[in-house]
Amino acid sequence: MKKTIHLTALYFFTFIFLIACTKKELSVPLVDPLTPIVENPVTSQLFDDLNEALSRFDPLYLQVMYKDKRTKEALHEVGKNLLQLLNTEPDNLSIQKKITDLYHFTSYKELQNYSNSIRTNTNSIKTNIFKSAHNLTTAEEKMIIAARNSFLKNKVIQLKAASEKTSSGLWTDNADWILNQYHYYSLVSNQEMNLDSDGSGGGECEESCCFDLKTCSITARNNHLINLFKFSFAGGTALSLPGAVVGSLVPGLGTAIGYLGSTFIGGLGGVIVATEFYNNELIVCIYNYKACLLRKNGN
């Protein structure tokens, strides 16, 4: 009888212990509530198409894909000047041909279609995903930057696989084009996600001024992406404003941008304005870096 009572008591306390342990285990959350796993709604085919269109007007794209020997700054200036000329003479066939040839489109109509697709896609993302036609919030800007990084990573992975097929002789169609695309997107990924002290991908900083420059360059690059998004969506009135803002930082630049023409309101016009901002921010970064070095050296 005593043995039966002891066994019953042992089973009872074992049962209570197991319940207590089970409750303790179930009380631990499976996912940290502070870091929820949420899919980025910007990561979509719409955003991929926007990035593809933007690349066609990138001076680096012209250098890598079409072996243009001019600097990125020089290519940007040519594009900006041609766009300004189109503002005054929108039906000038000679100017239309020059800007078409600069960006290597088969026709002026194709160039216009790419420009319009940039404006249309940014508009669709703002109104359909963010449900707003107003300024982006900080959270929305972070989502765009994250989506851009995701796009670049996926693009490099896809092109790397395609280039390996090409180099192994399994696929020879458009081999040079694939390899050049892989080279271009690899460079862009390094510049946007692994900036060195001089603005390129590479090594690490070893002193404070270099860190400041690196941080400033990364900020400028992120601002460039957000400005591409903002100004590509903007209308003509908004496009006339950034010139004045930039001009307040660098005298004369505001009037140099001016109004970028009804033919390219948003789209290519937005790309030109955003790049003008970016180039100016990099100049400020470099000046601050030089001033930092002078202070460190006691000058």
Q: What is the pLDDT of residue 218?
A: 87
DSSP state of 262: G
* DSSP conformation class of 107: S
The tokens for 16 are: 């209570």
* Cross-strand pairs, 201: 195
Dihedral (C-alpha) 233, 99, 192, 207: value to the nearest 10 degrees? -120
Instruction: Please give the pLDDT value at position 266.
Output: 67
pLDDT of residue 167: 57
pTM, two decimal places: 0.74
pLDDT in tens, the chain (299 residues): 444 445 444 444 444 444 344 333 333 333 333 333 345 556 678 889 999 999 999 999 999 999 999 999 999 999 999 998 988 888 999 999 999 999 999 999 999 999 999 988 888 888 888 877 667 888 889 989 999 999 999 999 999 888 887 655 555 567 888 899 999 999 999 888 763 333 334 457 788 999 999 889 889 999 998 988 888 765 433 333 344 344 333 333 343 344 444 456 568 988 998 999 999 999 999 999 999 999 988 86
pLDDT, position 155: 93
User: What does the block give as tokens for 132?
Assistant: 């707003």
Rounded Cα distance, 127 and 41, in Å: 13
Predicted local distance difference test score (pLDDT) of residue 230: 80
Q: Rounded distance, CA 33 to CA 29, Å?
A: 8
Q: What is the pLDDT of residues 194-233, one digit of tens each?
A: 633 333 344 577 889 999 998 898 899 999 989 888 887 6
pLDDT score of 298: 80
Give residues with Cβ within 8 angstroms of 41, minimum separation 6.
Answer: 129, 143
- Among residues 223, 229, 236, the alpha carbon closest in space to that of 285 is found at 223
Is 220 within 8 Å of 287 (Cβ atoms)? Answer: no
Q: Rounded to the nearest 10 degrees, how much is the dihedral formed by the CA atoms of 129, 132, 135, 137?
A: -60
- According to the model, what pLDDT value does residue 165 have? 74
Structure-token match 């030089």, residue found: 290
3-class DSSP assignment, residue 79:
helix
Q: Would you give the distance in Å from CA 254 to the centre of its chain?
A: 24
What three-state secondary structure class fits 195? Answer: strand
